Structures are given as C-alpha cells and as structure tokens.
A and B are shown apart, each in its own frame.
With several copies, the nearest count.
Chain A
Amino acid sequence: MESTPNETLRIGDRSFTSRLILGTGKFNSGESMRAACRASGTEMVTVALKRAALREKDPFADILDFLETDRYLVLPNTAGAMNAEEAVRIARLAEAAGLPKWVKLEIHPDPNYLLPDPIETLKAAEILVKEGFTVLPYINADPVLALRLQDAGCATVMPLGSPIGSNRGIETAAQIRIIIEQARVPVVVDAGIGAPSHAAQAMELGADAVLVNTAIAVAPDPEGMARAFAATTHAAWEAHRIGLGRTSATASPTSPLTTFLES
C-alpha cells in the first residue's frame, strides 16, 4: 500500500532501501554525477582506482569531492585488474584509502568485451573474504560459478545482462533466472542495462537490485535519466513482489464476448 519499497535489501552487514546502484564512470562533470546520484536516491555508488600521473594535474580533481559520502556507501571496484593478485592489491589499496572494506570484484582481461574471468574471480574472492572484505563479484551469468562464489562467502553475485556499456539489456535471462532461483545472497544484475525496461525486466526476474552506469552517465539529462531508472527499478520490484501473471498461449478476454448482437 505504499509506493516506496517496504522491505530492505540486506548486503553484508548493511541495509539498503534503494535497489539501484550507480556507477560513477563516464559522466561529463562531477556536478552532473552528483546531481544524478542524488536524483536516483541510490545508497551505493561505485568508484575505481587509477594510477596517478606524476607531474600532471588530473582534470577531474578528486571524485570524493563530488560524492556525498554520508549518503552513499562508496564501493570501490577492481577494474583494470588482470588477475586475482592484482584485484586483491587494488582492494587493499581501497581499504587503505579509508573506504569501507567492501569491494566490487571485477577481473576482465579482454579489452573488447570486458567479460569477467571466472577462475581469477573465485580465487580473488576467496582471499578477500578471508581478509574480511564484503565481496560483490561481477560475473558472467553462470549459475554454478554463482554458487561457488556464495560458498566462498561473497555477499552478492552480480551477473551481467550483456557486455558493459553495450546497452543491449538482459541477454542472459534464462541463466539469471536460475541464479536467482538458487541464490542464498542478493543478486544484483550489472552491465548492459541500457533502458528502464531492462532494469524492470531484471527486477521482474527476481533480482534484488541493478547496477546502472553508462545509460545514466551519458544521457543528455543524467539527472532525469537517473530518476527514470530509479522509478522503474522500484516499481518493477514492487510488481514482482505483488506477483505477476503467467503467460498463456492463447488470448483471454477482458470483455464479455458471448451472444452479443448476434441476430
């Protein structure tokens, strides 16, 4: 009876009301990023780490200047890591930077498709969980891998819908459905979500949250787009919670049809 979600999303030791996680890449200014984050109502945003260029002023100042860290959990990712060892080092650097001991674990050596490496991801997850990190691994939509990561103590699994930034939506619906059916931790669909209908579809499949970046960041109006994704994500989550109908092979009338005006 209320339009805001009335069950919280529990990841690790934290609770979230919002089911939309925002990536901060690709915005054309810190201001537009801040406005979009605010408008989205998100409670978790990702950041990356990058080698500092010596003797060169970075144009984009410090990202934390633009993130209202009291509003959001800042989730560092391990983008750029080519293997488990590098991912672990990045996670530790993020912790040393004073960020929460959480990590979006992503290891994708191929530069064309940015698809995650299942072997290295599991290896890194095992190490990081042991070190006390709350680990959110980005994975291909592989149900067996998802189970192994849960067994290893990951706080979520984050299967992809389609390649990062491709806007192609949920091409992996059949396998995401299985992941959700078998999951003992929240399932966050990440990557490829390019339109509100994609976010809605993920939630209707039973996902617990979605992570969106490109579709909002490069929109002509990131703030408006953030709002649109937030509204859709939560409405579809609500619809899934209420219970959607089954599909049928034939039609089913919505008006009385019989013996009308047959003379």
Chain B
Amino acid sequence: MSAAPTIQIEVNGKPVTAPDQISVPEFLRTQELDPAKIIVEWNGRAQTREEAAGIRLSDGDRLEVVRLVAGG
C-alpha cells in the first residue's frame, strides 16, 4: 500500500505539506480553521467562498489565508 501523495504549498508565506488535490475547505479544516470565517487568495487571486470550495490544491500553490478582524 503506498502512502497518499503529498504536495508542498506556501501558506501565508510559509511552506506547508498537504495531501495532493485536497480542497481548500478541507485543507483549512486540517489547519483548525473554519472555512466559513476565512477568505482565501489562491495564487494571487482572491476567491469567494464558493470559488474556494471548488479549488483543489496542487504542488507549488500559494495561499493567503486571512480573516476579518477589528480595525480602525
């Protein structure tokens, strides 16, 4: 039995290992983040939650993972 293939992606500027073809919401959950509260930029483009739900991650992808916070 072979191990599931993994990929290296960059999340918020840091390297992270993830299962290949994992969807963005699944990935966020592996990071203990609630996809409903998170906004994602994928390879430099902002994604709505609907768009993000349809993205499956590949090796070398870059993610910005942000949330709304208090601010002036």
Contacts and interface: CB of A to CB of B under 8 A. Distances in A.
B17 interface: no
Interface residues of B, number: 29
A23 interface: yes
A49 B72 contact: no
Interface of B: 11-13, 16, 31-33, 37-41, 44-49, 51, 62, 64-72
Secondary structure dominating the interface of A = loop
The listed residue with most A CB atoms (<10 A of its CB), out of B44, B46, B72, is B72
Nearest to B16: A54
B72 A164 contact: yes
A54 B68 contact: no
A48 B66 CA distance: 10
A27 B41 CA distance: 28
A14 interface: no
B65 A51 contact: yes
B41 A57 contact: no
A91 to B, nearest CB: 9
Given A89-B44, A94-B68, A261-B64, 6 more contacts: A23-B72, A62-B37, A63-B70, A97-B48, A211-B72, A255-B69
Interface string A221-263: 0000000000000000000000000000000011110010111
A95 B33 contact: no
Contact of A62 (B64, B66, B68): B68
Interface string A199-228: 000000000000101100100000000000
